[in-house]
A and B are shown apart, each in its own frame.
Chain A
């Protein structure tokens, strides 16, 4: 009885100490879009909320910060107002982050999707293409017309990687299937994204996937009775029948671990490019429309990526012209992947320059 009490007392006091220490830690976040975009910035903000909930630290965020001179001012303001760690969550914040970091050597900085690091600046990004390999597998098995529509935002390596990983996985299970790509030149224009989905469906696509942020293409798919995949977050509410699964960006584990590292003093400048294993990329529950064997195949693909026995970009890989680019047994390096700018075999159309 007394022992139990004593343990409770000890536990209680250690908890008190923990909260006292964490109360002093502050984390700042800079977003490029509104937290209400239901896409990129929204998911980062979910990560921020997870940090608050898990560690009880005080967080501040600034949304809608454009990627120019504004960014530097906002980051400097966050650094000078006592934040211990600052997450800058868009590629264009790279130089401002480095610049401000020089002036605030005691503050830790975390820059998303960039490549410049310093003693107090880490970089992090997610291997979303791992998720694309999983949905590509499902698409290959589920398509009847053998045409899959892909809505692209901008032809940058991040997006090309997704298209290629998707196509490779799809053709591994269905060599007859092709991917039609339509670029909408926007991360976010529900009307145009929906129109692109309609155009693709009109031209025979019976599965739609997207690398843009709004759920509009899923709504179109739902209305037209074809299947689709969600983007960035679970979009089942918009397309209960059409959504087969969704690739989810999940920053919460990373954010919690990094803030924790600041709290216990173990923070170091690192470069993180995490996928399923880092829990940065997750899959939404697979819909019942997917037959059991296809579901099994898709999950096996995910597991193989996680245990390292499969890489979405392992050879043999042919480019659009049918030339062998990666030999069997070889794997595209991270360096090539980070600058990927060509289509694999099975993607239709030419890439805009």
Chain B
């Protein structure tokens, strides 16, 4: 345990940004919208958060700014797909490319600027428990928040009326529309939530994980988050599991290398995607197993007139 502890600590930091982004995307997808712009929203959250902390010195303000940046990006997406009925897949891809470019532009003067990282909060008493205390109760604020969000999203989707409506919209927008629910408004809110969470994931990268700004610093984590949602078959608790699993794989292979165990690291980099493909194959081979979780009208545009 004493040897494993540092590795476990690192796994938590590696998993947290994935967890935020994937949870947000899960809610978006549950409402029937596929937003492939996660990477772009994340990277915008990263730069805006970092720029804010550099200018204001306040981590709280920076995190709020990141959330806002993610939401603004999501709002652009929502405008295009909900109002103008643009196809979701290319719009999402465009959002990613746009986010990477815009963040580079904003970040021009932030290159080479250093920041200490957001402080860690030790929970009194609990943090003093040997081993477990350091692992679970001596993290930064965002790690705690990520766990709270898993519980909240899960509770919202499956224990509240609003969550039920959101899932109904995702499963059959025509039926929900006929019932008198505003499909567009509900999807807008779900997309904005997805953006906010992706922004938070980005903030975690540039404020806590590696507190600095460099172009394209998300380095594909938005795509892993997207894969994670499918891997978790749209269940929040499984997203938590998957994020720690994906995070764990990357960290453990680094430790294995340092121990002198030869693992082809290219294979390790592929693993999250391989796992996702396997899950996709299972889904398509046995639809009934998954049907209850997968939003049935995912990716389909909604025209109220029809």
Cβ distance A296 to chain B, nearest Cβ, rounded Å? 30
Please classify how large the interface on chain B is, using the bins under 10, 10 to 19, 20 to 34, 35 or more.
35 or more
**Chain B residues near A203 (CB, 8 Å)?**
255, 258-259
> Across the interface, do A184 and B114 meet the contact criterion of CB distance under 8 Å?
no
Give me 18 A-to-B residue pairs in the complex whose CB atoms sit less than 8 angstroms apart, sorted by A's number: A36-B214, A181-B257, A182-B257, A188-B216, A191-B209, A191-B217, A191-B219, A191-B221, A192-B219, A193-B210, A194-B209, A194-B210, A195-B10, A198-B10, A201-B6, A215-B212, A223-B117, A350-B262
Which of B72-80, B134-142, B151-159, B263-271 lies at the binding interface?
B263-271
> Across the interface, do B111 and A42 meet the contact criterion of CB distance under 8 Å?
yes
With an 8 Å Cβ cutoff, the count of chain A residues facing the other chain is 40
Asked if A238 is at the interface of the complex by the 8 Å CB criterion, the answer is yes
> Across the interface, do B258 and A352 meet the contact criterion of CB distance under 8 Å?
no
**Chain B residues near A350 (CB, 8 Å)?**
260, 262
Asked if B21 is at the interface of the complex by the 8 Å CB criterion, the answer is no
Contact count A vs B, C-beta below 8 Å: 111
Q: Please list the residues of chain B having a beta carbon within 8 angstroms of any beta carbon in chain A.
A: 6-7, 10, 14, 17, 104, 107-108, 111-114, 117, 205, 209-212, 214-217, 219, 221, 250-251, 254-255, 257-260, 262, 264-266, 269
**Chain B residues near A192 (CB, 8 Å)?**
219, 250, 254
For chain A, residues 193 to 216, give those with C-beta under 8 angstroms from any C-beta of chain B. Answer: 193-196, 198-203, 205, 214-216
**Known: A188-B214, A199-B254. Is A349-B262 also a contact (CB below 8 A)?**
yes
> Across the interface, do B264 and A199 meet the contact criterion of CB distance under 8 Å?
no
> Across the interface, do B258 and A34 meet the contact criterion of CB distance under 8 Å?
no
Interface membership of chain A positions 204-237, coded 1 if the CB is closer than 8 angstroms to chain B and 0 otherwise: 0100000000111001000100000000000001
> Across the interface, do A237 and B258 meet the contact criterion of CB distance under 8 Å?
no
**Chain A residues near B221 (CB, 8 Å)?**
191
**Known: A36-B107, A190-B219. Is A214-B258 also a contact (CB below 8 A)?**
no
**Chain B residues near A349 (CB, 8 Å)?**
257-258, 260, 262
**Chain A residues near B217 (CB, 8 Å)?**
190-191, 214
Cβ distance A107 to chain B, nearest Cβ, rounded Å? 30
**Chain B residues near A38 (CB, 8 Å)?**
111-112, 214
